[in-house]
Amino acid sequence: MNLEELKKLKEKAQRQVALREGQKKYRVVISMGTSGIAAGAREIMKTMLDEIEKRGLDDVEVRVTGEHGLEDVEPVVRIEEAGGEETTYARLDIEKARKIVSEHLEKGHKVDTLAVGKQKKTE
Amino acid sequence: MFDELSLNLLDIGMNSFAAGATVLRITVLEDVRRDWFIVRLRDDGRGMDEETLRRVLTKNASTKVGRKKQIGLGLALLRQTSEMCGGAFHIHSTTGKGTGVTASMRFSHVDRPPLGDLNATILALCVAGPDVDVRLHYCSNGEAFQFSSQEGKHHEPRRTQETQGKGAAASRAA
């Protein structure tokens, strides 16, 4: 724990927040209420931020919300696409979070095995 | 429920954002010699009245209304941890002014969870509340530092505004 490390993390957060300008192809919304945090949402967020940055995906913004209303299946991440399509991923772990970044956010392929519920489409 | 105290800090910090805070001050104090471990959170959010305050300290209370399933365990959890670890828990809140929470624990208590990844907590808070000034005062056995998420960020535009203001005043005067 030191100040230099924290400053680097602050810059990381600022880079991510800067990506919120304008319409992005993907918006990742991580559930960070009490139950989400207890289930590991903080580590999921950190992993996804790292992976997004590592892969240089600048058409992705990451946001945080309170409870999604899916307390039993946390950690939960919702991916909203510019076209209005939404996918909810549940019961995530670090590996699954990495997979969502590489498959869904990078290649544009939804990871059906991890998705829950009906996918919302606007047409 | 939380195996790291930094997760409690993230959880309670998220409440401050929900309360519309613009500044969130987090203090972490580790003092092995006096055998204390103290965490403190203070915000300038909308605060709580006495009734709400009483409610949030009991299990399953949440300030969110109209929810089928009310969660809101956060403060009760931290209180339980501090009391279990030979310390005390204090909360004070003023409507419209903000809320402060202090939890102390015996550093050496066997049940005291480790602080854990405080960095990840600060990162999460910075992403969750980009416009909130998240401040950390960390003091561990005599070594201390201060961190602010907004440091060096708002100074520039503010100065520009001032100069512009002065410029405008000057041109009016002319």
Using an 8 Å CB-CB cutoff, list residues of chain A that contact chain B: 1-3, 5-7, 9-10, 12-14, 16-17, 20, 32-35, 37-38, 42-43, 45-46, 49, 62-64, 66-67, 69, 71
ipTM of this predicted structure: 0.89
Res B63 pLDDT > 60: no
Q: What is the pLDDT of residue A22?
A: 79
Res B29 pLDDT > 90: yes
Confidence band, pLDDT 50/70/90 cuts, at residue B61 = low
Distance CA A18, CA A14 (A): 6
SS3 of residue B24 by DSSP: strand
**Measured between alpha carbons, how far apart are the two ends of chain A, in Å?**
49
pLDDT, mean of residues A59-81: 88
CA distance B10 to chain A (A): 8
With pLDDT > 90 as the criterion, what percentage of chain B qualifies? 65
Which residues share a beta bridge with B63? none
**Interface contacts A/B by beta carbons within 8 Å:** 89
Res A119 pLDDT > 60: no
A123 vs B31 pLDDT, higher one: B31
Res A90 pLDDT > 90: yes
Using an 8 Å CB-CB cutoff, list residues of chain B that contact chain A: 1-2, 7, 10-11, 14, 18, 64, 67, 69, 71-74, 77, 115, 117-124, 126-128, 130, 136, 138, 140, 145, 147, 149, 153
B148 vs B73 pLDDT, higher one: B148
Residue B105 CA neighbour count, 13 Å, CB half: 25
| Cβ-based neighbour number of residue B37 at 10 Å | 26
Res B70 pLDDT > 70: no
Environment class of residue B56 by beta-carbon count within 10 Å: exposed (0-12), middle (13-18) or buried (19+)?
A: buried
The tokens for B145 are 């530092």
Model pTM above 0.90: no
The tokens for A39 are 């289930």
With pLDDT > 70 as the criterion, what percentage of chain A qualifies? 93
Q: In terms of DSSP bridges, do strands B98-106 and B36-43 run parallel, antiparallel, or are they unpaired? A: antiparallel
pLDDT, mean of residues B95-122: 96
Whether residues B118 and A33 touch (CB distance < 8 A) is answered with: no
Distance CA B150, CA B39 (A): 21
The tokens for B108 are 């050496």
With pLDDT > 90 as the criterion, what percentage of chain A qualifies? 63
CA distance B94 to chain A (A): 23
SS3 of residue B119 by DSSP: helix
Q: What is the pLDDT of residue B138?
A: 94
Distance CA B61, CA A80 (A): 30
CA distance A31 to chain B (A): 10
Res B172 pLDDT > 50: no
Which residue from A3, A13, A62 is facing B145, i.e. has the nearest CB? A3
Residue listed under structure tokens 């279990």? B84
* Residue of B123, B132, B137, B150 to mutate for A, most A C-beta atoms under 10 A: B123
